[in-house]
Chains A and B, each alone.
Chain A
Amino acid sequence: MQAFDYASARTVGEAVSLLTQHGERARILAGGTDIIVQVREGRRSVDLLLDIKEIPEVNQLSYDPINGLRIGAAVPCYKIYEHAEIAAVYPGLIDAVSLIGGIQIQGRATLGGNLCNASPAADTIPALIVLRATCLIAGPQGTREVPVEQFCTGPGRTILQRGEFLLSFRLPPPQKHSGARYLRFIPRNEMDIAVVGVGASVVLNEAHTRFVSARIALGAVAPTPLLAVEAGEILAGKEISEENIQRAAEAAQAIARPISDMRGTAEYRRHLVGILTRRTLQGAIQRAKKEA
């Protein structure tokens, strides 16, 4: 492995000042399930790995029906799905969180790491987007908050500026009659990287006959996870029908910009976007109906 330094920050201020000092050559160490492997394989070169585990803000995990959910960037996946209340209120998030790796990975991998690693195929990002999650970012100028869909700018690239890092996520409390679902396609039963991932959330009318609104987000079909704005908007105010779901799926396919690689051709991926969008929408609707 290449030479780099280790540091551990205990406060947000310490972290910001170290990050400011080292710029691009410094990376945060959260669970390490991506960064350690990347450094080992020489895919990323760093001068400083900054451990943030000791900073209280990145370890918070709290939910209440008024403020919604706050997840610190360094909270490992298992803590999220083992939290009974959170699991009950945000099943769409749990779909994604429980997919990452196996038990040994979930003990360490974090939501923050999954987002900041900015892989186009990262499973939690489409789920976070459809749940209207926002990122709280700390930096030299204080903190700022941006929606998750604006966070990634390319494979492995984010909007984080020199000195900035991700503190936590905030998810609004779910609205009445709403539901969300995340699904991915992989060739084996488990333990693969998504060939395509799709998240969907819906809010239904009281009678459960119409969409009030919908959000659809896509993974592994563009340089970054995508919020398929139109695909969601098409459904607003519409009746719940196979036909409308199909139209949303087609709109999602239209915005997908997949590439061909060893995991699948662009054509196949586009085809899967259609299939998965329909399935996730149906799943989200089912959950919304139960949440009446």
Chain B
Amino acid sequence: MDLNQSHTMLFQAVINDKSVQLEVDPRRTLLDILREDLDLTGAKKACDIGTCGSCTVIMNGKGILACITPAERAHGKNIQTIEGISQNGKLHPLQEAFIKGHGFQCGICTPGFIMAAKALLDKNPNPTDQQIKTALKTNICRCTGYQQLIESVKLAAGQLKEEDIKARETDKFRIVRYTDEEDQHLPWAQREFKIIGKPQPRIESESRVTGKAKYTADYKIPGMIWGVTVRSTHTHARILNIDTSSAEQMAGVYRVLTWRDVPGENAYGKKIRDQQVFARDKVRYYGEPIALVVAETKKIAEEAARLVKIDYEILPGVYDPEEAMKPDAPQVHEKGNILSHYHLEKGDIAKGFAEAEVIIERKYTTQPQDHSPLESEAALAYYGEDGKLTVISPGQSVFFDRLNIIRALGVPKEDVRCIQAAIGAAYGKREAVYAQIHAALATFLTGKPVKIEYSREETMLVTTKRTQLRTYLKTGVKKTGEIVALEARIIGDAGAYASWSLNIMRKAGVLVSGPYEIPHVKVDSYAVYTNNPITCATRGFGAAETEFCTESHVDEMAHAIGMDPMEFRLKNVLRRGSKTSTDFQLDFYVPATDTILEADKSFHWREKRSQTKVVSDDVRRGVGMATIWYGIGFGSGIEDTTDVIVELNEDGTATVYVGTVDYGNGSNTTFAMLTAEMLGLSLDKINIVNGDSDRTKNCGSTVATKQTYTTGNAVVAACIPLRKDIFYIASKLLNIPEEEVDIGFNEAYSMKDPDKKIPIASLAKQFRQFGKPRRREGLFHHQKLTTPLDPKTGTGKAWFPIAFGTQMAEVEVNVKTGKVKVHKIVAAHHVGRALNPQSVRGQIVGGISFGWGFALCEDANYQNGIPQNLNYDKYKLMRSTDYPDIEVIALEKDEKSGPFGAIGIGEPPTIPVAPAIANAIYDAIGVRVYDLPITPEKVRSLLTL
């Protein structure tokens, strides 16, 4: 009998073919031992309760979850981790396949998936699709939507060939190109592309599939100490006293920081800086930071945090945004609960409704979705070798993080450097600041490296959510099918602080009219403070929430006048020459119609619609569609200058300095491709320096689907003079006219005589001789393309460019249980140009999975302001066994202001999913759900009525 009371054991195991011996506490998990003691950080800790698979390793031949395996159980075993599966520097076939198959985006789930897939293939080298899905169902991927991930496994199993995946047209993905006369005059019209438009692996691929990529939590610095946040345990309360004395006396505690310790401003935020670094007099949401305990170990800090005593006077809270608008509601801030009001008026709304023959009026509600990037919040601060206070974190903009940090510390910007680590995705959540300021402050005051790591539960409790909306929508339509009037009143729950809510609710107010030409429009859109968690930009923000309403409504209008919903949309959508709801005249190609027609080509709308609805006694099938629009970038004339440096190095490589953050969206690869194309280099010659406030200039945040377009344009702008000089120097050195020169694959050559050629590297060395700089700056001023909205009417050039897309969905509804299964989604989105086709496809499929969750199951579930679903046992994300058959159509038609015609595609695919599904449910069973998510119980309850 072994009774272990000493709390240590000699842990022995063979790990990646090496025997390991360690003294450990047998209660610790295998995951902690791998990550903390052995520095094998490939296995990730995304949930720590056995629900996500990110910690999967192979133990004695079986895939297991290291986070729920006690050390004692791993003792004596043979363990393989992601770090151990490549042999002699050669990647394992699964690792190769995940690179070629675009099986990852942010990469944080990838080691877990590869290990789970390896456990499967080791046992069953030729699995069926269903067996693959089943083998991977423990593992969550938030980014990819599983399609390319599963294809990668099939690639490794030899069931698919690389060409099968990469073709321009397969049964899962096709690119259709539209051109017109105008396009012939584009500067790149005659060019044959060497890099862009061809599938390229992510430049960071290898680090993602080998587990080498370091996410913030994976960093360890000698002498590092820990910070743990003390948080409010009330949603709304006055702070009477903060007593840190017992905590401070605990052995191992360095400091307990509160508002008193903030040397600069105790405030931060986006436009309105109303958040407190540490709450001072009042807390406004559950979990608001009040203090930070800084101690030698995380455990000590956690224990000390429990000793910080806070006396509160509890105040009544307000948790419903409509309630909060009432005059007698509890006031969250002194200035009142209404944070912003956007008013839009076009035409004459009364006249519009007078002309209408059918009027429909509905109320819709949407829920707080959690972005749920699989990486929990973390930050690490330290003094770098250059003596600078350096902060590593997964934020969406190093410049925004730095701005907030320097203001809190009261130091000039030169004193602080922010760096992005590898990021386990963001989707808008990280437009807000979490642990960064606290870590910076702790290092500032102690001089020591300080790390803060939130658990999954802490992350989901205190980080931002998608804004929940109450939308009252009224429309008037003629029997002939023209929409003549639209009136909307939208109330958005900002939560306790402003963050991004102003932008979100302005966007909501503009986009609620949908991609339609409507002569008479009136909208009032409010952001309202409550004591709920703060809200922030979330994939498709302002649009996914409102266009669910619009597109459900459009469907209802079509049915009310007896018109096919597709015909109805085709009749009303914006086209060349139309005016948008903000009175912006679109004097250019508008892809809305073509997205509908392309989706139809794959989906066969009319045919599918006329099929029988009855599948079996219990099951009905139905089809639905939605067409959406979405503004790219900030719009409304809001300042957004992007500043990029490209340097052609003398060895024939190029370095691109971009201030953007790539959190899995693939922007670094896009910028590398643009540079390679412009400078005639191969992709491996491009180095990207990004996400570093010291080494790059500001490129704004990675948000609003804007980086391909804005930073892409700046990269091209920086490359244009370099390209010109390359041509010039080549013509001189080759002694041929410039028109005869072409470049590509690291050479400049004569188009007439291919023997006349010279490596770009040799050319680069000559730049100085020719008096040409090798380093160029590229600027792009996005604000110049839009105008501020008129403060009285809300009209103006709200966004440019505008993304359009259409999705069609086929669902089955079980009328006995109310359960909805989405069978198929066809998604046609205008992308301008698919610079990296498989990456575009990945963004679209991933966006659909995000929308699927928003439609059917994801809900942070606030109870009196406290989110209840704090981990993946309760917060439901799509899994491999859920994903529908998805077919993607990338509609290309060059946007002449974009880099080689491209616009962005990060968010639009999320927007049409919920209304397409809701409309398909209506088609199947004749009832409509007006509030998301569409749970089985809601559907079922409508059927009993």
Which residues on A are within 8 Å of B, measured CB to CB? Answer: 1, 3-10, 14, 18, 29, 32-33, 36-37, 40-41, 48-49, 51, 101-105, 107-108, 185, 187-193, 262, 264-265, 268, 271-272, 275
B795-823 contact mask (Cβ, 8 Å, vs A): 1 or 0 = 00000000000000000000011010100
B72 contacts A40, C-beta separation under 8 Å: no
Contact A190 B817 (CB under 8 A): no
A188 touches B876 (CB 8 A): yes
Contacts of B135 in A (CB 8 A): 102-103
Cβ distance B9 to chain A, nearest Cβ, rounded Å: 8
The answer to the question of B874 belonging to the interface, with a C-beta cut-off of 8 Å to chain A, is: yes
Contacting A at CB under 8 A, from B1-60, are 1-5, 7, 9, 26-27, 29, 48-50, 53, 56
Q: Which residues of B contact A36 (CB under 8 A)?
A: 29, 50, 68-70
Asked if residues A14 and B68 are in contact (CB atoms below 8 Å), the reply is no
Q: Determine whether the beta carbon of A104 is less than 8 Å from that of B56.
A: yes
Let me know if B936 is at the binding interface, CB within 8 A: yes
B499 close to chain A: CB less than 8 A: no
Q: How far is the CA of A37 from the CA of B67 in the complex (A)?
A: 9
The answer, yes or no, to whether B940 is at the interface (CB within 8 Å) is yes
> Do B876 and A192 touch (CB < 8 A)?
yes
Partner of B116, one of A5, A103, A192, A264: A103
Q: Find out whether the CB atom of A1 lies under 8 angstroms from the CB atom of B64.
A: no
Q: A7-B2, A7-B4, A102-B137 are in contact. Are A107 and B62 (CB under 8 A)?
A: yes
**The 4 nearest A-B residue pairs measured at CB:** A102-B138, A190-B881, A7-B3, A102-B137
- What residues on A are CB-neighbors of B873 within 8 Å? 193
Are A188 and B63 touching (Cβ within 8 A)?
Answer: no
The answer on a CB contact under 8 Å between A102 and B53 is: yes
Check A262 against B138 for contact (C-beta < 8 Å): no
Contacts A6-B72, A103-B116, A103-B138 aside, 13 further interface pairs with beta carbons under 8 A come to A5-B3, A10-B1, A32-B73, A37-B49, A49-B27, A103-B134, A104-B138, A187-B935, A188-B882, A189-B882, A190-B881, A262-B861, A264-B937
Whether the Cβ atoms of A14 and B137 lie closer than 8 Å is: no
Contacts of B48 in A (CB 8 A): 40
Q: Is the CB of A268 within 8 A of B937?
A: yes
Q: Which residues of B contact A262 (CB under 8 A)?
A: 861, 868-869, 874
Q: Is B358 an interface residue (CB 8 A)?
A: no
A101–B56 alpha-carbon span in the complex (Å): 14
Taking CB atoms, residues of chain A closer than 8 Å to B9 are: 6
Q: A7-B1, A40-B48 are in contact. Are A272 and B879 (CB under 8 A)?
A: no
- Least CB separation from B878: chain A residue: A188
Cβ–Cβ contact B119 & A103, under 8 A: yes
CB distance from B921 to the nearest CB of A (A): 14
Contact B4 A5 (CB under 8 A): yes
Shortest CB-to-CB span from A78 to chain B, Å, is 8
* Chain B residue nearest to A1 in the complex (CB): B27
A9 to B3, alpha carbons, bound, how many Å?
9
5 contacts between A and B (CB under 8 A): A5-B3, A8-B1, A32-B70, A40-B48, A191-B138
Q: A103-B119, A187-B936, A262-B874 are in contact. Are A33 and B68 (CB under 8 A)?
A: yes
User: Are B1 and A9 in contact (CB-based, < 8 A)?
Assistant: yes
Most buried by A among B2, B50, B64: B50
Query: Which residues on the B side are within 8 Å of A3 (C-beta)?
Result: 7
Known: A40-B49, A262-B861. A6 touches B4 (CB 8 A): yes
B65 within 8 A of A: yes
What residues of A have a CB within 8 angstroms of the CB of B821 in the complex?
189
A188 to B878, CA, bound (A): 8
Shortest distance between the CB of B617 and any CB in chain A (Å): 11
Contacts of A102 in B (CB 8 A): 53, 134-139
Chain B residues at the A interface, C-beta cutoff of 8 Å: 1-5, 7, 9, 26-27, 29, 48-50, 53, 56, 62-65, 68-70, 72-73, 116, 119-120, 134-139, 816-817, 819, 821, 856-857, 861, 868-869, 873-874, 876, 878-879, 881-882, 935-937, 940-941
Q: A104-B116, A191-B881 are in contact. Are A6 and B56 (CB under 8 A)?
A: no
Q: Are A272 and B1 CB-contacts (below 8 A) given A33-B68, A41-B49, A188-B882?
A: no
* Docked CA distance A59–B765 (Å): 73
Contact B64 A104 (CB under 8 A): yes
A191→B68 contact, CB < 8 A: no
Complex Cα–Cα for A289 and B29 (A)? 48
Contact A105 B138 (CB under 8 A): yes
B942 → A minimal CB distance (Å) = 12
Q: Please report the C-alpha to C-alpha distance between residue A193 and residue B878 in the assembled complex, in whole angstroms.
A: 15
Collect the chain B residues with CB atoms within 8 Å of residue A32's CB. 68-70, 73
Contact of B65 among A29, A104, A272 (CB under 8 A): A104
- What residue of chain B has the Cβ atom nearest to residue A265's Cβ? B937
Contact yes or no, A272 B817, CB < 8 A: yes
B70 touches A185 (CB 8 A): no
- Contact residue among B5, B72, B137, B940 (Cβ-Cβ distance under 8 Å from A271): B940
CA distance A9 to B7 in the complex (A): 17
Q: How far is the CB of A8 from chain B (nearest CB, A)?
A: 5
Most chain A CB neighbours (cut-off 10 Å) among B48, B56, B65, B876:
B65
Q: How far is the CB of A12 from chain B (nearest CB, A)?
A: 12
Query: Roughly how many angstroms separate A285 CA and B878 CA in the complex, as a whole number?
Result: 34
Report the separation of the CA atoms of residues A188 and B119 in the bound assembly, to the nearest whole angstrom. Answer: 25
Asked if B3 and A18 sit within 8 Å, CB to CB, the answer is yes
Contact: B27 with A6, CB < 8 Å? Answer: yes
Residues of A within 8 A of B64 (CB): 104, 107-108
A residues near B874, Cβ cutoff 8 Å: 262
> How long is the Cα–Cα vector from A15 to B204 in the complex, in angstroms?
52
Interchain CA distance A187-B560 in the complex, whole Å: 31
Are B876 and A37 interface neighbours, CB within 8 A?
Answer: no
The distance in angstroms between the C-alpha atoms of A7 and B26, with both chains bound, is 10
Q: Complex formed: what's the CA distance from A4 to B3 in Å?
A: 11
Which residues of chain A come closer than 8 Å to B68, judged between CB atoms?
32-33, 36-37, 108
Q: Which residues of B contact A105 (CB under 8 A)?
A: 50, 65, 138
The interface residues of chain A lying within 8 Å CB-to-CB of B940 are 268, 271
Known: A33-B68, A36-B70, A268-B937. A275 touches B138 (CB 8 A): no
What residues of A have a CB within 8 angstroms of the CB of B868 in the complex?
262
In whole angstroms, how far apart are the Cα atoms of A107 and B60 in the complex? 11
Find chain B residues with CB under 8 A from A187 CB: 819, 856-857, 876, 935-936
A197 to B618, CA, bound (A): 19
> Hey, which chain B residues are within 8 Å of A6, CB to CB?
2, 4, 9, 26-27, 70, 72
Q: How far is the CA of A193 from the CA of B875 in the complex (A)?
A: 12
The winner among A18, A102, A187 for most chain B CB atoms within 10 A is A102
Least CB distance from A190 to B in Å reads 4
Alpha-carbon gap, A265 to B938, bound state (A): 11
Q: A190 to B137, Cβ gap below 8 A? A: yes
The docked-state distance in angstroms from the alpha carbon of A14 to that of B878 is 45
Residue of B nearest to A21 (CB): B3
Nearest-neighbor residue (CB-CB) of A39 within chain B: B27
Specify which of A29, A32, A265 lies most central, judged by the most chain B CB atoms within 10 Å of its CB.
Answer: A32
Question: Whole-angstrom distance between the alpha carbons of A219 and B7 in the complex?
Answer: 39
Considering the chains assembled together, what is the distance between the CA atoms of A42 and B857 in angstroms?
27
Q: Which of A49, A191, A264, A272 has the most CB of B within 10 A?
A: A191
Which residues on the B side are within 8 Å of A193 (C-beta)?
873
Tell me if A8 and B2 are in contact (CB < 8 A).
Answer: yes
Which chain B residue lies CB-closest to A107?
B62
- Do B2 and A189 have beta carbons less than 8 Å apart? no
Task: Say how far B1's CB is from chain A's closest CB, in angstroms.
Answer: 5
Chain A min CB distance to B58 (Å) = 10
Which B residues touch A264, using CB under 8 A?
A: 937
Query: Closest Cβ of chain B: how far from A76's Cβ, in Å?
Result: 9
Which residues of B sit under 8 angstroms from A101, Cβ to Cβ?
Answer: 50, 138
A14 CA to B3 CA, complexed, in Å: 11
